């Protein structure tokens, strides 16, 4: 299954894309002040997906929004 979330928000600067999945990381101090995030949400998602042999991907353009997506396989129920 593929799960996807897309927005038309402020986007993420390209130089910040690698660090946003690290604990307590924010794309910028401006977004931390404005949205009051802790920087844990994406780190938790990244960890949970790794436990399921999956990973999260992001595509983003500043001032145009972001797209986060991942594929995950579930065992067939009997």
Per-residue pLDDT of 21-68, as tens digits, reads 998 877 655 655 565 667 899 999 999 999 999 999 999 999 999 999
Q: What is the CATH topology of the domain spanning 2-71?
A: Heat Shock Protein 90 (3.30.565)
More confident: 34 or 77: 77
Q: In the prediction, which pLDDT does 45 show?
A: 96
Q: Among positive and negative, which fits the CA dihedral 15, 6, 44, 55?
A: negative
Domain coordinates in residue numbering, the chain: 2-71
Q: What is the rounded CA–CA span in Å between residue 72 and residue 28? A: 30
pLDDT at 29: 55
Distance CA 14, CA 7 (A): 16
Query: What is the mean predicted confidence (pLDDT) over 8-32?
Result: 81
């Amino acid at each position: 299954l593929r799960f996807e979330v897309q927005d038309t928000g402020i986007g993420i600067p390209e130089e910040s894309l690698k660090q946003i999945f690290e604990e307590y990381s924010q794309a910028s101090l401006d977004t931390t002040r404005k949205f009051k995030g802790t920087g844990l949400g994406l780190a938790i998602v990244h960890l949970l997906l790794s436990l399921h042999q999956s990973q999260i991907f992001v595509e983003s353009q500043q001032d145009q929004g972001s797209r986060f997506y991942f594929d995950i396989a579930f065992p067939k129920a009997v």
